[in-house]
Structure 1
């Protein structure tokens, strides 16, 4: 009887694919990609799926299966494969990616608030005590970080119920995009707002910043990699899967196909109701508000496609923007209350206690409260430096998004570099093997390293080539500073244990 109940609880192919899909697929990636590249984003999503998503997910699956009893997550994978110093620096880089996420989102989440209240993005006109634009968003971001940290340290975890509410709302946004775009397509008798002119539409971007710039196009791969982020979480699903040797690789391949096609079709659907030059090419559009402008335009286009008056179509656009703003604010708030402590707790509990100086590693009520306040201070300082660095709104959001994309994708290099060493170690029991030969492991390791490494390189140097040194400096400074901090912390730990 117990055997039967255990078997029924195992993941079959379809639930596995759904779990991978919900871990990885992100709505915001679609409008942002259309804003940056138009239809030309699609080939990069497909290429990144083949050269990064599939091989990296299968590597993660092998790691997760071999170290299922370890509490340290990716730290244990790298520590057992290469060594503790490499593992700590790699894990610290992974943790840093959440710091940049907080810097990005704490400043950017006021765009959805503006949409929820006013039906459009008015943040560029906000003023407070003589400050304006990015500075006001920076001040609100700092206040938000302090509020969330204070609330989280009190253990008021009921607020995390916001997560499921926000998640449901964002799921409805995806459904609305698909149904709404198809309705506009039918209402306009099959015509596209952004016409497809042969293969050229998929190889040349309408964005003048990227047109004819091969480095800028290659730099876009980082956006595609970021869109596939979250797959390191699927490593723990191997042992929950029925007949994992066959089901898991199949689930990864099917998920990769669905996610790649989902992103690609989503970008195509936006082109049904959004003309790039008329909607995305205007002055006030930036990476922070692209999603809201696209969805507001969908509401407006639905009205005009079915004969509504200009006033009704505009009101419909504002109504959709309000729904999108509220949905995104709820989703981001829920994510904040979880990510304020979850990555920090994982890195502290997964690494040796003596690595953390003073009372940093102490926990109270299961939360690393001292570390959370140090984290809040670092995030607030970074927000202030970026916000008061004298940027326009578009540059401000470019810096934040570039920082986050680079920081989120660099840890994949550390995990991938550890994979051949993991394969070589015969003493590690490997219950789940996809890469049967050492040669195939090395080949796919290099494919992933080249994809992630070159994408980040181009992403970092591209702004500098265009004269935007500020974005390049911020993209590079964070990972270097945090690598040095990790190195110094590990040296101090070695002296302690000696």
Structure 2
């Protein structure tokens, strides 16, 4: 096919693809729960001081590396070399683990609402069953995506646009309904003071989830190579994305204030708020639960398709994008169908580990909220790479020419990139403090501990894999069967001990976790430092 007959993606299409990826109804709901109507002011501040410059920086990075298809990891590799490119790919993948677990849990919640029409099933479901069902969903979709990968990509696209349509429908119908009922809102009083957030320590801990809600524009970077004029059209798409996100977050939050009293929000709003909202909308228009059921099945289809694509795409991206230099051969091994089987096993193992950390929380709602807030820590942390890459290209613009330039003055542009890097890193650190539970309670301390454990395991493993690859290069294999057996057995013992101690008090959990944090790495280092006998 000649170049003249090639089909290109237009910038409006790329903008819509990015918009579906970046913001959703649940993102608006999560932050409404954290900040109430004050989130409207937060969204305005975020849009002009964060989202717009963030999107335009992504636009310039896409313009500089317009022939690269790897996105963020390609940008870091192009500015800082192979190892940092690998580590960026790893951290991006690690950040996806809590996201896919969250998506799997959302599938369970969505099915519950779709079949029962209420949240009562959650009160009857023990945490262990919820975790087990979530893990079963993982296993099922590992097999599903193998046979229906292309179909799932189509379904996720359709589902994504359907979710976007439901969000716009909710905003539009809520405001129309408000005018029909004479302007009565559940949130009272509704004045300038209501939409001003309280800038305190708790507010700082919620910024990470705001960033989590609006990041992700870099996910469409691989489509740069499919645009006719990528240097100019990709920045256009990013500008459009910023303004669409601004509109929907502000008016979406206002619409929620019509149905929910922001001063007295339900404790389970993050998990069930979107279903409650469509219930209220249906009641307002006299159609009962119709809108809720439509939304529930839309959510189930979208989440199922998204989960299947994510499980496949994130594993393939990690294995293929990091190359042979740093990724162990046993993880790059594929079957006859070209699927990285051991990569899937690693994904399921780490996902299972994350789920196990949360299973000992008091309620199903606590598990959901903790996992969501974990996304609000790890995801903004990964976003820091974007600003770092932007700072690198603006430090040496002669080496990285671009047709589109965000802020002509290099020093000013560098300063803006540094400012956003500092803001994002600060939000990441404050996000580690638990939310949605009583401060300094037993649950608060437990969530704080497992936040650190999850971060250390997910990110730390990325520094260990290159060392394992180094052993493969040196000895031909990383470990012999005896070494593998000892390490696997030790891991299983640790898991069993964690399950056993999960029912004990906080002090016992804390002592166990600290002991494992010290003893486990030392033991693995002792086993791993020896030369494999089978080499």
1:298 correspondence with 2:298: no
Q: Which residue of 1 aligns with 2:449?
A: 473
Alignment of 1:177-326 (within 5 A): 177-204=170-197, 214-236=200-222, 248-276=234-262, 281-282=265-266, 285-303=268-286, 316-326=287-297
Matched residue SS, 1:201: coil
Q: Quote the offset at 1:384 in angstroms.
A: 2.6
Q: Which residue of 1 aligns with 2:27?
A: 29
Q: Quote the offset at 1:491 in angstroms.
A: 3.3
Instruction: Note the aligned Cα RMSD (angstroms).
Output: 2.9
Matched residue SS, 2:361: coil
Question: How far, CA to CA, are the matches of 2:383 and 2:117 in structure 1?
Answer: 38
Question: Does the 8 Å CA contact 1:108/1:137 hold for their aligned counterparts?
Answer: no
Unpaired runs of at least 5, structure 1: 205-211, 304-315
Question: What is the TM-score with the length of structure 2 in the denominator?
Answer: 0.79
How many residues were matched structurally? 468
The equivalent position to 1:453 in structure 2, one of 425, 435, 439, is 425
Question: How far, CA to CA, are the matches of 2:10 and 2:70 in structure 1?
Answer: 24
Once the two structures are superposed, what CA deviation does each residue of 1:181-233 show, in whole Å capped at 9, x if it has no partner?
133213311222223532211114xxxxxxx5712212222222112122012
Q: Quote the offset at 1:401 in angstroms.
A: 0.5
Alignment of 1:6-405 (within 5 A): 9=8, 11=10, 14-15=12-13, 17-127=15-125, 132=126, 134-154=127-147, 157-204=150-197, 214-236=200-222, 248-276=234-262, 281-282=265-266, 285-303=268-286, 316-364=287-335, 365-387=337-359, 389-405=360-376
Question: How far, CA to CA, are the matches of 1:488 and 1:246 in structure 2?
Answer: 40
Question: How far, CA to CA, are the matches of 2:256 and 2:222 in structure 1?
Answer: 35
Matched residue SS, 2:271: coil
Question: How far, CA to CA, are the matches of 1:153 and 1:243 in structure 2?
Answer: 34
Question: Does the 8 Å CA contact 2:60/2:235 hold for their aligned counterparts?
Answer: no
Once the two structures are superposed, what CA deviation does each residue of 1:440-489 show, in whole Å capped at 9, x if it has no partner?
23212112112211222222135499121233333333232222211122
Question: Does the 8 Å CA contact 1:299/1:317 hold for their aligned counterparts?
Answer: yes
Q: Quote the offset at 1:31 in angstroms.
A: 2.3
Once the two structures are superposed, what CA deviation does each residue of 1:1-29 show, in whole Å capped at 9, x if it has no partner?
x78767x94635x4454344333231211
Question: Does the 8 Å CA contact 1:79/1:86 hold for their aligned counterparts?
Answer: yes
Q: Which residue of 2 aligns with 1:309?
A: none
Change (3 A) 1:65 1:333: same
Q: Quote the offset at 1:414 in angstroms.
A: 2.1
1:414 correspondence with 2:385: yes
Q: Which residue of 1 aligns with 2:496?
A: none
Question: How far, CA to CA, are the matches of 1:176 and 1:420 in structure 2?
Answer: 39
Question: Does the 8 Å CA contact 1:17/1:252 hold for their aligned counterparts?
Answer: yes
Q: Which residue of 1 aligns with 2:503?
A: none
Once the two structures are superposed, what CA deviation does each residue of 1:304-326 show, in whole Å capped at 9, x if it has no partner?
xxxxxxxxxxxx44333222211
Question: Does the 8 Å CA contact 2:63/2:235 hold for their aligned counterparts?
Answer: no
Matched residue SS, 1:182: helix
Matched residue SS, 1:276: coil
Matched residue SS, 2:63: helix
Question: How far, CA to CA, are the matches of 2:199 and 2:445 in structure 1?
Answer: 17
With 460-469 and 227-236 compared, the bigger mean Cα shift is at 460-469
Q: Quote the offset at 1:417 in angstroms.
A: 1.7
Matched residue SS, 1:367: coil
Question: What is the TM-score with the length of structure 1 in the denominator?
Answer: 0.85
Unpaired runs of at least 5, structure 2: 475-535
Once the two structures are superposed, what CA deviation does each residue of 1:131-164 show, in whole Å capped at 9, x if it has no partner?
x1x3221111011111111333456644544324
Question: How far, CA to CA, are the matches of 1:156 and 1:418 in structure 2?
Answer: 32
Question: How far, CA to CA, are the matches of 2:233 and 2:346 in structure 1?
Answer: 43
Matched residue SS, 2:201: helix
Q: Quote the offset at 1:118 in angstroms.
A: 1.2
With 479-488 and 342-351 compared, the bigger mean Cα shift is at 479-488
Question: How far, CA to CA, are the matches of 2:3 and 2:155 in structure 1?
Answer: 37
Question: How far, CA to CA, are the matches of 1:108 and 1:21 in structure 2?
Answer: 20
Change (3 A) 1:360 1:462: closer
Matched residue SS, 1:109: helix
